[in-house]
Structure 1
Amino acid sequence: MPLIDSRHLTRTAALVAGAVVVAGLALAAPATAATPATGSTAQVTDAGNRLDAGTEHRNTCVIRTLFAATFDDPRSEFSQKLAKWFVAPDAVAHGAGAASGPQGLLAQFAADRDRVPGARAVIKHIAADGDLVAVHWQIAPDPSDERRGDAAVDLFRLRGGRVVERWSLEQAIPTGTPASGNTNTMFSDLYHPSEPTPTPTEEQEEQNRVFAVSAYETLFRDKDVSILDRAFDPAYLQHNSVAPNGTAALKQFFLSGIPFPAQQSVISLSDGDIVWTFSQAVGAKPGDPLLAADLFRVDGGLIREHWDVVPTS
């Protein structure tokens, strides 16, 4: 194993120690992953107690620590030990070729670094809801440049402060001038309300989740474009580089008659003013991968901003 730089070890150990205290982990009785039933996708919508802010905060600390302390050197002895601490030995990994357990997560990080030399993990958005934590992040060769590398969304389910289930979606960041004419990136936050908006309560977050998921399914499952007039800001901000801002482009796409499979949300979570939804085609077979991760900013009863990660495969 490569030697661990003492300065890195000291800095990371402090981070880990703080997260362990916050998470209150009990290694004497490690959490294990729930074994999916035969033929099950294990992509259930239940997320435990969605109103438990304390557990959500502790789970967020665990995931931030995993990214901060293991991504830069996933093959190191320190990363191996840390991953065993925070990831259950039989943690289920979804997706073709995904490896389970702590070694599976480290292998994913190592592959990311091999694919994008010199890459850093730059978290852009993170959310916790019930027992789920989602991370929208850039695999960045240059953290100051949001237009290089890959965009990713990873989803984790935790139990007792340990990861027991995970999903990962990645796509290359498009290069060149976006066809849409948008000058914003796949990650930037552009929406600013005209008046300060209070931080949503746990109850408001849940209302936002139900609202945004319903709007998503009305549009992409039922293909009812009238939802764009009821649930979206006409000038909503779009971070998909091939789609312009606003609802007019979406209306044109749906009314053009271009066929595409109906999609539905199979997992969703809400934190702050952002709702995350993970989709599959309607009628997807057990074991089929997730099609996309979508993030919707909800404010004042309307969808104001949208990001997504759509794997090319």
Structure 2
Amino acid sequence: MMKHRYRAYGTAVIASAALLSGLGVSGTAIAAPAVAHSSGAASLDSARGGTSGDRQDAAAERRNACAIRALLSRGFADPSSSSARRLAAALVAPGAVGHGTGATSGPEGLLAQFAADRKRVPGAHAVVKHLAADGDLVAVHWQIAPDPRDERRGEAAVDLFRMRHGKVVEHWSLDQPIATGTPASGNTNTMFSDLYRPAKPTKAPSERQEERNRTFAVSAYNTLFRDHDVSVLDRSFDPAYLQHNPVAPNGTAALKQLFGSGAQFPAQQSVISLSDGDIVWTFSQTVGAKPGDPLLAADLFRVDAGLIREHWDVVPTS
């Protein structure tokens, strides 16, 4: 859990100046570490949030976060360039596993994803909205944006990276198109904005508090989406919590109505989770999923004063 979390607000395009020098990365690839990993999220230790790294090593987490920012800021703009290939070779292990349909391994696999993103959204910029580093994991919530000033166009994405010895050894990616027009729910919040303001200023949570927030939010998620127990909405959510999924309005009333409607939902649970600052990230799979099965969704929950106050998600459409 990084003591100094990274967050880009509004329309700020991710900056790359000094990132590579801070990482000590030159045009020469550093030696690749041995890659040992599970073949999918379902086999990970979900109680620990899927990390085997040290959640107290803030220095390593900062380095990991800088590496991912460098890949997005320098690699996304022109994935076919020689500079992007050198950077990817320096920061992605040759055997790095890419999860997802059609994903390929190693540095070229990540650059191929960037190229595919740019093909779907011509002229796209990578605009980071939230970023977390926790243990050996880095997660980034970002917009594939044709116009960095407009949060209502392009695609919303969450990418998850496992790091070892400063290199990516495992990677998951989720994205969905940003809906256009006014949704039926009437919710006009964008999929990225930060709207919650506490009643009084609060200091950044300690690492111990971040871990309490993680277990709290994961428990709330599993109680609702695995156990379908709507009473958790009264215990763990602010009744007026801010919703960034356009399908639902702000507040818990819509969720109570949805889960109380008698509709049948497949049980799903968090299998990977991170906590950084006041935001907890969960990555979910269907209960009983096999190793290698895809992640269903990425959810971000802002936790303050013992309640979930704000929520973002990315749910792939296929």
Output the TM-score relative to the length of structure 2: 0.90
Aligned to 1:8: none
Aligned to 1:233: 238
Structure 2 distance, partners of 1:54, 1:211, is 25
Aligned to 1:96: 101
Map of 1:123-142 to 2, 5 A cutoff? 123-142=128-147
Cα deviation for residue 155 of structure 1 reads 0.2
Is the CA contact (8 Å cut-off) linking 1:32 and 1:91 kept in structure 2? Answer: no
Cα deviation for residue 12 of structure 1 reads 6.1
Cα distance change on mapping 1:263 and 1:77 into 2, 3 Å: same
- Aligned mate of 1:72, from 70, 73, 77: 77
Structure 1 distance, partners of 2:247, 2:17, is 42
- Aligned mate of 1:17, from 21, 28, 32: 21
For 2:33, the aligned partner's letter is A
Greater Cα offset, 154-163 or 50-59 = 50-59
Cα deviation for residue 50 of structure 1 reads 1.2
Output the TM-score relative to the length of structure 1: 0.91
Structure 1 distance, partners of 2:293, 2:235, is 32
Is the CA contact (8 Å cut-off) linking 2:30 and 2:90 kept in structure 1? Answer: no
Cα deviation for residue 41 of structure 1 reads 4.9
Structure 2 distance, partners of 1:233, 1:56, is 30
Structure 1 distance, partners of 2:183, 2:17, is 42
Aligned to 1:51: 56
- Aligned mate of 2:298, from 290, 293, 296: 293
Is the CA contact (8 Å cut-off) linking 1:146 and 1:186 kept in structure 2? Answer: yes
- Aligned mate of 2:124, from 119, 128, 132: 119
Map of 1:1-313 to 2, 5 A cutoff? 14-20=18-24, 29-36=31-38, 41=42, 43-44=44-45, 45-47=49-51, 48-313=53-318
Is the CA contact (8 Å cut-off) linking 1:15 and 1:65 kept in structure 2? Answer: yes
Cα deviation for residue 179 of structure 1 reads 1.6
Three-state SS of the structure 1 residue aligned to 2:24 is helix
What is the root-mean-square deviation in Å for CA atoms of aligned residues?
A: 1.9
Is the CA contact (8 Å cut-off) linking 2:42 and 2:271 kept in structure 1? Answer: no
Structure showing greater radius of gyration is: 1
Describe the superposition over 1:266-300 as per-residue Cα deviations: whole angstroms up to 9, x where unpaired: 00000000000000011112321000000000000
Cα distance change on mapping 1:168 and 1:221 into 2, 3 Å: same
Cα deviation for residue 46 of structure 1 reads 3.3
Three-state SS of the structure 2 residue aligned to 1:151 is strand
Is the CA contact (8 Å cut-off) linking 1:51 and 1:203 kept in structure 2? Answer: no
Cα distance change on mapping 1:82 and 1:235 into 2, 3 Å: same
Gaps of 5+ in 1: 1-10
Describe the superposition over 1:58-88 as per-residue Cα deviations: whole angstroms up to 9, x where unpaired: 1111101111111000000110011000000
Structure 2 distance, partners of 1:152, 1:13, is 23
Cα deviation for residue 30 of structure 1 reads 2.4
